[in-house]
Amino acid sequence: MVTIGSILRALPQVTARHRDWSLTCNANLLNSNQLVIDPVLPNGRCHARCKLDMTDTTMPKKTSRLPDTSGPMVRQYWMELLDWSYANQRVTWREIEPGVSAVIIPMASRKAVDQDLLDAEIRMAVGQVPGMARGIRFELEKAGEFAFMPPADYRGWLGAYGRDIAAGETQVTVFIDLAYLEAALLARLWDHGVIVDFASPLAFFRRGALTDYANIYEAAVAMVVEGRSLADTADLLASQILDRLQLYANVYLQLSTLYVQAEWQIDHDNFVAKIPGSQNSLVLQYWALWTNQKSPAQSANPWHDRIEGFLNQGILPRQDSGFPKSFAA
């Protein structure tokens, strides 16, 4: 028997097990895959057995490939797709926006349609998904297995459809071409002097000696769960990345100004303090600053005792003094 799992197996699937990747692992674990493109249906309209009278999500005359669909339009397209799929009780495919497609298997179709016909409809729908440079897929009904808690949930903005999906009665497989998200991030970060090393599941962002990272798989899943567009997601990620890079820079300036007795440098994701003439060094992992971004001063406070202790051990013995002191300028 042919199942949707066997039909989709060739494409990397994002599951909750990807959420806690060690930062030392190979970030480019999954290879790109290519799906079939139907040249007869280039404008994002397809049903398992007929063309749909639905609003096109793409503009063939537009030359730009940067995502520009708004979040409200993305939610509207999702509702139109589910409306049509439920009304016709058939497997349905649609391009939600360039770079994001979905295949819907409604509850009625799974229960009432002959298995051979269902398998044929799944094959035809999946075959219409546009080719992807960095393709991933995930099942929307399993999004709850991820640990993050998005501010909005599809069970709310999709109404009764969302509740059917969460219950596993309606199956939704989402296909995302991460190359669109990469292009959108490049466009937003380039003018800020940020170099993008886009890989999956982790992408890295460098400005000067500082580095930040983001879990792209989690960002893609959160985008669909919250009903956001690729453009909205790129705006959100770019803002978060720039804020964190600025936070790291502020804290480094603060520490190197307060503790001038040490030589400070940045080594990948660490601040390193060295005492001149000594082999000893203190390493502070600055990604830990994410836990408190309200104020650089508050974020650095937990490190002050460690720095003071390090300087007392490294400097005071050479000064032949047994009295601890504060080195903060």
Q: Which residue has the higher pLDDT, 86 or 28?
A: 86
Length of the chain: 329
Contact residues for 201 (Cβ-Cβ < 8 A; gap 6+): 18, 21, 27, 29, 30, 215, 216, 217, 218
Give the predicted TM-score (pTM) of the model: 0.75
Residue 292 has what DSSP assignment? -
From CA 110, how far away is CA 252, in angstroms rounded? 58
pLDDT at res. 110: 76
Which residues are paired to 137 by β-bridges? 13, 175
Q: Which residue has the higher pLDDT, 235 or 261?
A: 235
In the structure, what pLDDT confidence band is assigned to residue 49 with cuts at 50, 70 and 90?
very low
pLDDT at 195 over 90: yes
Q: List pLDDT tens digits, range 139-178.
A: 998 887 777 777 778 989 999 999 999 999 999 999 999 9
Beta-strand runs (E) in 184-290? 195-197, 202-207, 210-215, 263-267, 270-274, 281-285
Q: Are 307 and 255 in contact (CB under 8 A)?
A: yes
Residue spans of the domains in the chain: they are 4-177, 259-319
